[in-house]
Structure 1
């Protein structure tokens, strides 16, 4: 029996889940020490930039 699903939607969901997995490596995001949404968003931007730079230098 096959279960019908939207392959594109499943792929996008998987990508987003992986991104959050990489972001949660950083304790400040995983533990949410900052209570303000702007502080959390700033940390997400910082960690994402670090993550991207890591791949640029590896290439």
Structure 2
């Protein structure tokens, strides 16, 4: 379970472990006992968050104009393709 630094609490960590997942939460600076956490996994989480932020720049996705889930998913896929093409064109 990947989470932000704001969710660094013992009870939240225990709940995550109780449900069978491993918490990967960066420790707060004032914590006496610093649990281990993977910076590599946290970087990947950041990439996903930035992708969703870019998706929300498309007005139709941000405001959810489409009433049907299939139409909304199609728009998300089209926007994702457009973002991917923008990156692909800039690297060639």
Alignment partner of 1:30 is 2:85: no
- For structure 1, the residue ranges without an aligned partner over 5 or more in a row are none
Alignment partner of 1:20 is 2:23: no
Equivalent position to 1:11, from 43, 46, 51: 43
Moved over 4 A (4+): none
- For structure 2, the residue ranges without an aligned partner over 5 or more in a row are 1-28
Structure possessing the higher radius of gyration over alpha carbons: 2
Compute the TM-score of the two structures, normalised by the length of structure 2: 0.54
